Amino acid sequence: MTALAVNALCKSFEGLRVTANVNLSVQPGERRLIIGPNGAGKTTLFNLITGEIAPDSGSITLFDRDITRVPSSHRAHFGMARTYQIITLFAHDTILRNVTLALLGLSPLRWNPLIDLDQQHDLVVRAHEALVRVGLDHIAERPLSQTSYGERRRVEIAMALAQNPKVLLLDEPFAGLSIDERRDVQELLRAIPRAVTIVMIEHNMDVALDFAERITLLHFGEVIMEGTRAEVVADPRTKEVYLGH
């Protein structure tokens, strides 16, 4: 059984092919890194996997379940969660409320327009538990607008972890972080149990290579190299298209 499999996935926008017959097979518990230059199609691949855009052809399976045509909003119920390259949070709400809202999205209560979120004690407890995991429970009631960029990154990861995912997709979680903030996020990711499979897009090669067990290199929407850290870093194609050598 594979945790996540992408088979012959293709996507074009107005005749421009951005994903070209991509194949990807990620094993349960694996830490997979996806790299490539700007415009390689990395975030588009994530958007296809999460259902935010539909492929022109190909298939996507999650633990051998075909989810290619499953609506994006339903994929979280099958064990998929993600973060975004551009942080998408509610700046005027508290940290706790942001995480609680993420949990509400998986609950049947989300259809109730009159719900009092503060009275949903089970959701609030689970949100606190997620914030403990990322080291932010002590500032749970702080408005998001009064937090640092690194703290917001950790809030976003907490929102994803609160959903108890089996597969977690991280889109450049280290982008824009200071050295200390990168260290905090590195420690956070290392603490995620192997029951969670992680696929990460990242440009910061120092932290990314420390994380990855296998690496997939994309270029112009195609997989041009895949292997262990040592294999991918040593391959001339990596140096040519990504490292600039």
Mean pLDDT of each 10-residue bin along the chain, 245 residues long: 96 91 97 90 95 96 96 88 77 88 65 55 87 93 91 90 92 88 89 95 80 91 91 85 60
Q: Residue 120's pLDDT is what?
A: 67
Tally of CB atoms within 10 A around 178 = 11
Q: Residue 100's pLDDT is what?
A: 87
Q: Residue 122's pLDDT is what?
A: 81
Smallest Cα–Cα separation from 201: which of 115, 112, 106, 83? 83
Q: Residue 207's pLDDT is what?
A: 77
Taking the model in full, what pTM does it have? 0.89
Region of 103 (left: φ > 0; alpha: ψ -120 to 50; beta: rest) is alpha
Q: Residue 243's pLDDT is what?
A: 56
Smallest Cα–Cα separation from 48: which of 79, 15, 23? 23
* Sheet containing 214-219, strands listed edge to edge, beginning at the edge strand earlier in sequence: 80-82, 167-171, 197-201, 31-35, 214-219, 222-228
For the chain, the residue count is: 245
- Domains of the chain in start order, with CATH, are 1-79+167-183+202-245 (3.40.50.300), 87-165 (no CATH)
Amino acid at 220: F
Amino acid at 110: R
